[in-house]
């Protein structure tokens, strides 16, 4: 016999009046790793900040990213058929803000002020990222307000890190997890 789950806590603010706002308020309690997704086609470059990147499969190595369908980098990704993902450390908050468009920079201007590595004409990865992946675009699916991107990983990197911790997004702000004690 299945019994209904008891309600615990309080409903998300505004749940009766606006289900979308209540959903967003509730999702703010899920901490998410912060990544930069970069794209390139020839000399044209772009990128965005993502908090919804997850591994999809180890065989074959693949990952999934959900991106707002209006993101300016999506047409470039469709044309090039490639993208890269850099997992950010706690010191990269300014890069996350920049690629989220908070300072108004777009395209190649978002890459200024940080060290990037990669081959000419391919998506760049952040040199001091906690980890990075180069991917071939496998599939893009439009669902509701977002585009679900599946990439086959062609290269994975884990540079020697300093143990300073990962950047996470939680309760509408950046935070740090996993820092090693000195």
- Summarised one tens digit per residue, pLDDT across range 10-43 is 555 545 568 888 888 899 999 999 999 999 998 8
Indicate whether 44 belongs to any domain: yes
For residue 165, being part of any structural domain is answered with no
Cα 36 to Cα 65: distance, rounded to the nearest angstrom: 11
From the number of C-beta atoms within 10 Å of its C-beta (0-12, 13-18, 19+), residue 165 rates as middle
Residue 177 domain-assigned (yes or no): no
Q: What's the predicted TM-score (pTM) here? A: 0.88
User: Which runs of E-coded beta strand occur in the chain?
Assistant: 32-33, 35-41, 44-50, 53-58, 61-68, 82-87, 116-117, 125-126, 131-143, 146-157, 166-170, 173-177
Q: What mean pLDDT comes out for the span 46-63? A: 97
Helix (H, G, I), strand (E, B) or coil at 91: helix
Describe the strand order of the beta sheet including 82-87 as a list of residue ranges.
Answer: 44-50, 35-41, 82-87, 131-143, 146-157, 61-68, 53-58
CATH of the domain at 70: 2.30.110.10
- Chain Cα centroid distance, residue 73: 13
Domain region containing 91? 32-160
As a whole number of angstroms, the distance between CA 142 and CA 177 comes to 32
Task: Residue 129: name the closest of 32, 30, 34, 47 by CA.
Answer: 34
Q: Is residue 166 part of a domain?
A: no
CA distance 139 to 37: 15
Looking at residue 94, what is its pLDDT?
95
Contact 66, 148 (CB under 8 A): yes
Is 77 a member of any domain?
yes
Is-contact 47 132, C-beta < 8 A? no
Phi, psi for residue 162 in degrees, rounded to 5: -100, 5
Domain-embedded: residue 4? no
57-114 per-position pLDDT tens digit: 999 999 999 999 999 999 999 999 999 999 999 999 999 999 999 999 999 999 999 9
Question: Is 21 part of any domain?
Answer: no
Element (H, E) at 128: none
* Count of the separate structural domains present in the chain: 1
């Amino acid at each position: 016999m299945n019994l209904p789950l008891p309600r615990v806590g309080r409903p998300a603010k505004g749940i009766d009046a606006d289900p979308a706002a209540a959903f967003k308020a509730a999702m703010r309690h899920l901490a998410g790793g912060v990544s930069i997704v970069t794209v390139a086609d020839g000399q044209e470059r772009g990128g965005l900040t993502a908090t919804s990147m997850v591994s999809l499969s180890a065989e074959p190595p693949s990952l999934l990213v959900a991106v707002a369908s209006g993101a300016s980098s999506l047409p470039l990704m469709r044309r090039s058929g490639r993208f890269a993902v850099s997992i950010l450390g706690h010191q990269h908050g300014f890069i996350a803000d920049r690629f989220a468009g908070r300072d108004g920079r777009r395209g190649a201007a978002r890459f200024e002020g940080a060290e990037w590595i990669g081959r000419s004409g391919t998506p760049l990865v952040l040199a001091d990222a906690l980890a990075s992946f180069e991917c071939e675009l496998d599939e893009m699916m439009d669902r509701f307000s977002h585009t679900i991107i599946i990439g086959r990983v062609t290269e994975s990197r884990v540079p020697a890190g300093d143990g300073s911790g990962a950047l996470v997004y939680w309760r509408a702000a950046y935070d740090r997890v996993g820092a090693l004690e000195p």
